[in-house]
Structure 1
C-alpha cells in the first residue's frame, strides 16, 4: 500500500502542470467576461495556472508523505493564506473563487482514478486514499474562505481608520491659531483618535490656540463631554489653549440638564467671535 501511495503521488507531481492547464481551461470556459476583463485574464493566465499547479503539487506531496498528514495540512494552510489574499486583491468575489474547489476535486480525482485502475488497487486501498485526499480538499476550502474574509475585514478596518483620520482635521487659521470642526457623533473610537490626532497636528502646526467648533455635533452626553475635557486638558499640558465654539441650543440644554460643568473652559458663540477675540 505504501508503494502504491508513492506511485500515486509521483504521478500527480509529474502531471501537475498538465492537470492545472486542463482544469484552468475548463474553469474559465464558463466565465462571462467583458473584452477588457478577457484581456486582463489572458495576461494573468500563466501566473494563475502556476498557482493551480502548486496547489495540485501539495496533494502529490501528501501522497508521498502520507504518514505525515499534519505537514500536508500546514502546507495547504500556507497556500490558502497566500492565494486568498491574492484573489481578494484581484477583486474576485468569494463565491466565485470557491467555485474552483469543485474543479480541483474533479481533476485531482480523475487523475488518481486512472492511476488506481492501472495499479488495480483494492477497495480498501482506495478508501485510504479517499481518507487522505478529501479531508485536505475540505480543509483547503475552509482555510481559503477564512483567509479571504480576514483580508476583507482588514481592508474595511483600514478604510474606516482612514475615514476617522479625515474626520479629525485641524485647519490652521493664522500663525499659532487653528480650528478643529467636529461633525457627527463622537464614539469611543473616534474620541481616542481625536486625542491622538489633535495633539499630533497641534504640535506639527505649532499652535498656541485651538478653536474646537461643535456646531456640527448634534449630541453631547457625559461620555462625549468627558472625552472633550480630556482632549482640552491634554492640549493645555503641551501649551495649547482651547476655545469651544458653536454649541447648539439643544446641545446647551442637554449640557445643563446633565449638570456638565464647563467652568474653566473658554466658550464663545461662534468661530468668528473666538477668532476676533484672539486677534483683537
Structure 2
C-alpha cells in the first residue's frame, strides 16, 4: 500500500501547478470583480498560484511520507502561517479565503479519482488516503485561521494604540500655553495614557499653563475625576499650572456628590474665558 500511496503522492507533486490552477480558476470564476480589481488581482496572481501549488504539494508529500504524520502537520502549520499572513496583507476577508478549502478538497479528490483508473487503488488504500488528506485540510484551516485572526487582532491593537495616542492631543496656543481637549469616555487604559502623554507633551512644549477642557467628556465618575486630579497634581510638580474648563452642570453635580473639592483648582466656564484671562496675566 505504501508504494501506491507514494506513487499517487508523486503524481500530485508533479501536477501541483495544474491542480492549483484548477482550484484557482474555480475561485476566480466566483469572484465579482470590477475591471480595476481584475487588473490589481493580475499583479499578484502568480504569488497566489505559488501559494496554492505549495499547498497542493503538501498533500503529495503527505502520501509519500505516509508513516510520518507529524512531518505533514508541521508542513501544514508552516504553510498556514505563511498563507494566513499573505492573505491578510492582501486585505481579503477571512470568510472568503476559507471558501477555498472545499474547492481544494473537490479538485484533489477529482485528481485522485482520475488517477485511480491507472493505479487501481484498493478500498483500503482509498480509506488510508482519506485518513491522511482530510485531517490535513482541517489542520490547514485551523493554522490559516489562527494566523489570520492573530494579524487581525494585532491590527486592531495597533489602530487602538494609534487612536489612544491621538486622543491626548495638547494643542499649543501661544508660547508657554497649550490646550488639551478631552473627548469621549475615559477608561482605565486611556487614563494611564493621559498621565504619561500629558506630562511628556507639556515638557516637550515647555508649557507654563495648560487649559484642560473636559466639555467633551461624557461621563466623569470617581475614577475619571481622580485621574484628572492626579494629572493636574503631576503637572504642578513640573511647573505647569492647569486651568480646568468645560465642566457641564450635570458633571458639576456629579463631582459635588462624589465629595471632591475643586478649591485647589483654577476653574473657568469655557476655553475662551480661560485663554482671555491668561492673555491678561501674561501682558
1:9-48 matches, within 5 Å, as 9-48=9-48
CA separation in 2, counterparts of 1:261 and 1:61? 74
By how many angstroms is 1:117 displaced? Answer: 4.0
Deviates more, 1:178-187 or 1:90-99: 90-99
- The aligned residue for residue 192 of structure 1 is 192
Q: Distance in 1 between matches of 2:100 and 2:177?
A: 59
Equivalence map 1:57-76=2 (5 Å): 57-76=57-76
Name the SS for the 1:83 alignment partner: helix
- 18-27 vs 260-269, greater mean Cα deviation: 260-269
Quote the offset at 1:131 in angstroms.
0.5
Any unmatched runs of 5+ in structure 1? none
- TM-score for both structures, normalised by structure 1: 0.91
Shift in Å, 1:232: 1.9
Q: d(CA) in 1 for partners of 2:247 and 2:30?
A: 60
* Alignment deviations for residues 134-181 of structure 1 (CA, whole Å, 9 cap, x no partner): 000122122222322332232233223222222211001121211101
Equivalences for 1:1-280 in 2 at 5 Å?
A: 1-279=1-279, 280=281
Cα distance in 2 for residues equivalent to 1:45 and 1:97: 15
Cα distance, 1:251 vs structure 2? 1.0
TM-align CA RMSD: 2.0
Alpha-carbon distance between aligned partners in 1 of 2:218 and 2:39, rounded to the nearest angstrom:
51
Aligned-residue offset at 1:195? 1.7
Distance 2:185 2:258 in 1: 18
SS at match of 1:192: helix
User: TM-score, normalising length from structure 2?
Assistant: 0.90
Residues 11 and 60, structure 1, Cα contact 8 Å, conserved in 2: yes
Provide the C-alpha distance between the structure 2 equivalents of 1:157 and 1:56, rounded to a whole number of angstroms. 34
- TM-superposed deviation, 1:11: 1.4
Determine the C-alpha separation between the residues in 1 that align with 2:259 and 2:40.
Answer: 63
Does the 8 Å CA contact 1:179/1:212 hold for their aligned counterparts?
A: yes
Contact between 1:116 and 1:126, CA under 8 Å: does it hold in 2? no
How far has the Cα of 1:222 moved from its partner?
0.6
2: CA distance, partners of 1:32 / 1:216:
44
Displacement after TM superposition at 1:259 (Å)? 0.5
Q: Is the 8 A contact 1:170 1:178 kept in 2?
A: yes
Query: How many residue pairs get matched?
Result: 280
| Cα distance between partner residues in 1 of 2:29 and 2:222 | 61
Q: Structure 2: which 5+ residue stretches go unaligned?
A: none
Whether contact under 8 Å (1:16, 1:53) holds in the other structure is: yes
Contact preservation (8 Å) 1:81, 1:143? yes
